[in-house]
Amino acid sequence: MTRVTLLAGGVGGAKMAEGLAALEDVELTIIGNVADDDEFHGLWISPDIDTMLYTLSGRINRDQGWGVADEGRRALDTLEELGAPVWMFLGDRDFGLHIYRSQRRHAGDRPSVITADIAERFGIKARLLLPTDDKVQTRVRTAAGWLSFQEYFVRERCAPEVLDLAYTGLADAQLTAEARAAITEAEILVIAPSNPLVSIAPILETPGLRAAIAEARAPVLGVSPLIAGQVVKGPADRMMASLGHRADALGVADLYQGLVQHFLIDNQDAALASEISALGMTPHLADIFMRDAEDKARLARHLVDIAREIIREHAA
Ligand code: GDP
């Protein structure tokens, strides 16, 4: 068994996690993103963590990539009838999870422990960790002012141009002991093909996390979330461009300079390989678009094979 620790956001991250979880010779630990979290109707919602829970337990809505399959909206209809804002879609089955999490948070349980318990109850074999038990929230500055992440992402459908990002609470957040150990004890570290600015950055910038990676003996591999200068889903490309980054695999590589040693980019991006090498990172060409379960497992296998080769070379 090889211990793999994956840093991952929501949809792209969960696809990579599913692939790694399918490998029988991998013991998978995921460090997820809590900076998309917010409160709705008095309940604490963790969208990226829930995408991971729903994906790995096989209850995800495959067409959307988030939310539960076979979902209803009767609870939301009642809230709407009562005049509550319902732009954040929360399904009936989904509500059950939010009630459970919120009730335990109110009782004073650590968010990490609550997440681990849910994962276990959902029959998930991988370990799902939080980078911190503290409250960290991404804020998005647009021409209309600062928005919460979900206001930008869901209510405004990512339409406004992103002028700035801030992560409230991050500078004072405490890295969980579990996340630190998962990094220092990993044999392979992987940065998922997630949004580098709003999914990976809030994990990476948790104080102490980069230091743990620097201390770790594991090789650090990344997978580009951008293919031929485009996202598979979401606002990462436009967000990178409006914040002054190149909106392609090279732009993502630039953000991971000094951290990621091996970067998987799509075959279509072969022309970027030499510039990625110049950043001090080894590019690897592959088909990194994950359409189905087979693609996910194939990419995960490829990633682990590359990492094992690096480990072997290092030992020799
Ligand atoms: P979010 O928090 O739900 O937005 O999810 P993530 O940050 O984990 O993932 C969003 C990123 O995943 C986007 O930039 C997508 O381009 C990327 N993504 C989604 N599916 C794939 C895929 O099949 N392959 C790759 N390489 N990236 C993907």
- Residue 27: which CATH number? 3.40.50.10680
DSSP 110-145: -HHHHHHHHHHHTT--SEEE-SBSS--EEEEEETTE
The answer to whether residue 21 sits within a structural domain is yes
Which residues touch 65 (CB under 8 Å, ≥6 apart)? 11, 14, 15, 51, 233
Prediction pTM value: 0.98
CA nearest ligand 1 atom 19, residue: 12
The answer to whether residue 157 sits within a structural domain is no
CA of 232 to the centre of ligand 1 (A): 6
The answer to whether residue 262 sits within a structural domain is yes
In the beta sheet, which residues pair with residue 263? 222, 283
Q: What is the pLDDT of residue 84?
A: 98
Q: Which residues' Cβ are closer than 6 Å to ligand 1?
A: 8-13, 15, 48, 51, 193-195, 199, 223-225, 227, 231-234, 236, 288-290
The answer to whether residue 274 sits within a structural domain is yes
- Say how far apart CA 308 and CA 286 lie, in whole Å: 17
Q: What is the pLDDT of residue 226?
A: 98
* Number of domain units in the chain: 1
CA of 233 to the centre of ligand 1 (A): 6
Q: What is the pLDDT of residue 35?
A: 98
Asked if residue 275 lies in contact with residue 250, where contact means CB atoms within 8 angstroms, the answer is yes
pLDDT in tens, the chain (316 residues): 999 999 999 999 999 999 999 999 999 999 999 999 999 999 999 999 999 999 999 999 999 989 999 999 999 999 999 999 999 999 999 999 999 999 999 999 999 999 999 999 999 999 999 999 999 999 999 999 999 999 999 999 999 999 999 999 999 999 999 999 999 999 999 999 999 999 999 999 999 999 999 999 999 999 999 999 999 999 999 999 999 999 999 999 999 999 999 999 999 999 999 999 999 999 999 999 999 999 999 999 999 999 999 999 999 9
CA of 8 to the centre of ligand 1 (A): 9
Number of other residues whose CB lies within 10 A of the CB of residue 99: 15
Mutation test residue for ligand 1: of 15, 45, 128, the one with most atoms within 8 Å of CB: 15
Number of other residues whose CB lies within 10 A of the CB of residue 145: 9
Residues written for the chain: 316
Which residues touch 99 (CB under 8 Å, ≥6 apart)? 43
- What residue numbers bound the domain in which 236 lies? 2-41+124-137+169-315
Mutation test residue for ligand 1: of 195, 221, 284, the one with most atoms within 8 Å of CB: 195
- Say how far apart CA 150 and CA 169 lie, in whole Å: 17
The answer to whether residue 251 sits within a structural domain is yes
Mutation test residue for ligand 1: of 63, 231, 264, 272, the one with most atoms within 8 Å of CB: 231
Q: What is the pLDDT of residue 283?
A: 98
The answer to whether residue 254 sits within a structural domain is yes
The answer to whether residue 55 sits within a structural domain is no
- Say how far apart CA 218 and CA 2 lie, in whole Å: 11
The answer to whether residue 265 sits within a structural domain is yes
CA nearest ligand 1 atom 26, residue: 225
Asked if residue 194 lies in contact with residue 8, where contact means CB atoms within 8 angstroms, the answer is yes
In the beta sheet, which residues pair with residue 7? 31, 191
Instruction: Give the closest residue to 182 by CA, choosing from 210, 211, 216, 140.
Output: 216
